[in-house]
Structure 1
C-alpha cells in the first residue's frame, strides 16, 4: 500500500481501498457492499496510513541533515516520485508549524500509550480474551494500556495507578454505594487533565462522560438556535428594507403618474387653446380677403 500525501488521493482512487479490503477479507468476513463495514475499513486504512507516514518521517526525514536525506524511496511500497512528494509536503512552512505543535502537545502528555500499533479497544479486547475467567476493571485497563512489555510503567503512570488503587481500596464514606472503578479512573484523570480521553478512546462510557456529552450537545443546540435566530433577524431586516424600497418605489411611481396626468391635462388644454387661436386667425384672414381692392 503506497503512502500518499493526502487522504483525498485514496478517496479519489478507489483501487487502494479495494486492495485493502481484499487483504482484510482473507482473514475476516468483509462485506464490501455493506456501508458501515466499508466505513469501518476506511477508518482503519486511514489510521494505518497515518501511522506508517509518521514512522517513515521519523526514521528517514525528521532531524536528518538535508544533505543526508534520501532522494530515492526507502521502502518498496513507495515509488521515488511518491517519496519526493512526501518530502516536499513535510518541508512546507505549514507542515513544519503543524509538526512543532504536535511535538509541543506530546510533551504535555503524562500517560503515554503503550499498546504498540494497536489502539486501546483492540488491545483491551485481546487482554479480556486472555482473562475470560474474571472481570477486568477500569483501573486494570488503564494499567494494561500504559505498561510497556520492555520498560514497564513510567513514574507518572505508577503514581496515577497508585492513586487509583488506593481510592479503590478505600471504603465508601458518606455514600450509599462505593465508587466504581470507572468513576475512580475518570476522577483521577480529570484531576490531571480536564481533556483526558482515555475512557472514551477505550470505549468505556461513564455517567460523567454522558453528562458532559449531554451538556456539550445542549450547548451545541443552543448555539444552533442562536445562529438561527440571528439569521432570522437578519432576514427580517432585509425584508423590512425591501418593503421600504418597494413603498418608496410605489410612492415615486404614484408621483410620476400624477405628473404625467397633469402634463397630459396641460397638453390637452394647450391643444384646445391652439385650436381656438387657429380658428380666430382663420376668421381674421378671411375678413381680410373679403375686403380686397
Structure 2
C-alpha cells in the first residue's frame, strides 16, 4: 500500500531521492531499490490497464507518462533523464508482465473456457480490455505457447532464493555482511541459492556446488589452474543453455546482441 515509503518521506521531510545510473533499472541502494520496485507495482496495479502485449502500449504514450507522473509524485526522480526513462520503461514492463500473470492464474486458468468471467475483476481494466485479454488467452496458438513456457519453467534447475530482491541488490547487502572479505563467484552462487526456509541447498544446487569445487581442486594436467569464475561458468553452462547468473551479479559483462 506504500505506507512504508510515506513514513520514510515524512521522516526525511521530503521525497526519497532515486538515482539510476546508465545500464541499470533500479537504484543501487538496497532500501531505495526495494521501495522503487514496490511503488512501480502499486502504480501498475491501481492505475495502468493490462493490455494483451507490450507493443500496444507504444500506441498509448499517455499510459507511460501517467506511470512516470505517479512515480514523480512519490520520489525525487528526474524522469526526463534518458537512463531513468529507460529504467522506468523496463520496470513498467516487468510490473505489467507480473500483473498479467497473476490475473491469468487467478481468473482464467482454474476455469473452463465457457465459464471465464465476462466482466473485469479489477478497476484499472475495462470490460472491453478484459474480454480482449481473455480472447487472447483463448487463442489455440497462445495456449500452446503457454504450455511450452510452463514446461520450460519446470526445467529450471537453479532457482534464486533472494525473494523480491534482484541479484545486484542482494550482492550490495552481502557487501555489508562481509566487510573484510571479497566474495568470489562461488561464494555468490552459494549465497544466492541458499534457502533459509529449508536451511540448506536443493539437491540440484548442492550437486552443482560439488562440481564447481571439484573443478577447482583437481586441475587438468598441462593446463593453467582454473579460476573460480571459470569453474562456476563451466558448471552453469553444462547445466543450463543460457544461464546469466554471473552477468546478474556483475562479474561478467552482458554480451552484445548480434545484428546478423
Q: 1:114 to 1:65 in 2, by over 3 A?
A: farther
- The aligned counterpart of 1:22 is 69
2:69 is the counterpart of 1:11: no
* RMSD of aligned residue pairs (Cα, Å): 3.1
1:142 matched to 2:189? The reply is yes
1:160 correspondence with 2:208: yes
Provide the rounded CA distance (Å) in 1 between the counterparts of 2:201 and 2:120: 36
Q: Please give the secondary structure, in 2, of the residue aligned with 1:96.
A: helix
Superposed displacement of residue 178, structure 1: 4.7
Shift of 1:158: 1.8
Q: 1:75 aligns with which of 109, 122, 128?
A: 122
1:32 and 2:79 are equivalent in the alignment: yes
Cα gap change, 1:12 to 1:149, in 2 (>3 Å)? farther
TM-score by length of 2: 0.67
Q: 2:161 aligns with which of 114, 124, 147?
A: 114
Task: Tell which structure's C-alpha radius of gyration is larger.
Answer: 1
Give the Cα–Cα distance (whole angstroms) in 2 for the partners of residues 130 and 162 of structure 1: 24
Report the structure, 1 or 2, having the larger helix content.
Answer: 1
Question: For residues 114 and 103 of structure 1, what CA distance do their matches in structure 2 show?
Answer: 20
Alpha-carbon offset, residue 130 of structure 1: 4.3
Q: Secondary structure at the match of 1:57?
A: helix
**What residue ranges of structure 2 are gaps of 5+ in the alignment?**
1-43
Consecutive unaligned residues of structure 1, counting only runs of 5 or more, are 225-293
Q: CA deviation at 1:188?
A: 0.9
Change (3 A) 1:34 1:104: same
Equivalenced residue count is 212
Distance 1:143 1:27 in 2: 36
Residues 21 and 41 in structure 1, CA contact (< 8 A), matched pair in contact too: yes
| Residue 92 of structure 1: aligned partner | 139
- Tell me how far 1:133 sits from its aligned partner: 4.1
Residues in 2 aligned to 1:51 and 1:205: alpha-carbon distance in whole angstroms: 27
